Amino acid sequence: MRFLYSTLFYCLMPFILLRMQIRARRAPAYRQRLLERFGIFKGADQFQVNPAIWVHAVSVGETIAAVPVIEALLENYPQHRLIVTTTTPTGSERVQALFGDRVFHVYAPWDLPGAVQRFLRRIKPELLLLMETELWPNMLHYAKRADCQIVLANARLSARSARGYGRVRRLSNAMMRQLDSVACQSREDGDRFLALGLRPEKLTITGSIKFDLELSPDLRKQAHQLRASWRAGERSIVVAASTHPGEDEQILDAFKQVRRSIDDCVLVLVPRHPERFDAVYSLCVAQGWRVQRRSSGHSPGPGDDVIVGDTMGELLLLMSVATIAVIGGSLVEHGGHNVLEAAAWGVPVVTGPHMFNFGEISALLTDAGAMIKLSQATDLGSCLSRLLADSSRRQLMGDAGQRVVTNNRGARARLLTQIATRIKPGC
């Protein structure tokens, strides 16, 4: 089955390269460093003498979630060299900004037998730590053949994804056999992995490491300064985070409804992908809003309506000024994004109906009264208007969200315990 998969991957390579070039029209970084995706890169000589831990995080969300784990690995295993790979330019930018030369960073190889084997020969990892649900047949097969321990960390598997894996059951079963340990976010996620063929003794329910989010003193200081400059205590600010195509229009329509009753309200619209920054800015201007770019450095003035969040790595900071947070990826069928960055600041959360990628976390926040999950996206405007007019309810929701975050910490420590059992004694 893996042979057929690999053959198909090779056949699709011309189309994959064409897609990369098309994406590069809006995000030039997609045409850069292409050799890394074939397992060809410089600077791997150090791995001939130092044992290596390979951490793979697909993009920005997984990278941010991995930060406390990577920091702990750097502290606990100073004799190891950490390799951190991503697949997207935005994830790459975050790794380099957060860790600099403390880790070795390249793009992960495409899941071609030759590319994966070249990569593994260069870095010789003792442990492969995969963030969330990044399962690639050749990556797992050749890592295991190279005597590398494989841990799937902060694992989640939605019902829809499980159905997709179930359609290629032989391939899925083979991948489950390659995994040495799966640290799942919830029992429901774990049951889906078991149904795909994971052996029960390999499964641990650790909870989500996203609950271990730290609001550092430096970040809190920045947040205090930003709130003051944006007059966050005097006006309402709605932060719409990580939006996807098709959502910006819905959010702007909802904002029009809000402004009918609350005219001193600002919308912060943060697209998920940087190649959409210009398009979202143009959309807001075309609709007649007075728009600022976050990258301009200017604070919103009395006449400003919308701030386009066109900077990288600032979403957690921007959440600190929010009166209400709307989570993108949930108004369209993408599956939602991390709601805990808002909850950690004590910000009430509103999402659309599509939160299947964060089902357990969403249920915890909803049951605690910290989050409103709309049954239909068209209710967004009326929901925001009611919440903005009810400060008491917002306070209760914010307090409940912070309690949920506090009460569910500890997944990182449980994951690190799992990792420790996979590192060879004496290393």
The DSSP secondary-structure symbol of 103 reads: S
Specify whether 71 is catalytic. Answer: no
CA distance 120 to 69: 22
Q: Is 261 helix (H, G, I), strand (E, B) or coil?
A: helix
Decide: 322 and 309 in contact? Cβ < 8 Å: no
135, 143, 202: which is closest to 171 by C-alpha?
135
CA distance 303 to 323: 19
- Which of the following is catalytic: 62, 132, 134, 247? 62
Contacts of 269 (CB under 8 A, 6+ apart): 240, 243, 248, 251, 252, 280, 284, 306, 307, 308, 309
Contacts of 140 (CB under 8 A, 6+ apart): 150, 175, 178, 179
Residue 308: φ, ψ to 5°: -90, 120
How buried is 336 (Cβ within 10 angstroms: 0-12 exposed, 13-18 middle, 19+ buried)? buried
CA distance 233 to 323: 9
Q: How many CB atoms within 10 Å of residue 418?
A: 17
CA distance 343 to 355: 16
CA distance 273 to 244: 8
155, 237, 195: which is closest to 415 by C-alpha?
155
DSSP 354-413: --GGGHHHHHHHHHHTSEEE-SSGGGHHHHHHHHHT-HHHHHHHHHHHHHHHHHT--HHH
CA distance 87 to 245: 21
CA distance 279 to 310: 11
Burial 69-81 (b: 16+ CB within 10 A, else e): bbebbeeebeebb
Active site residues: 62
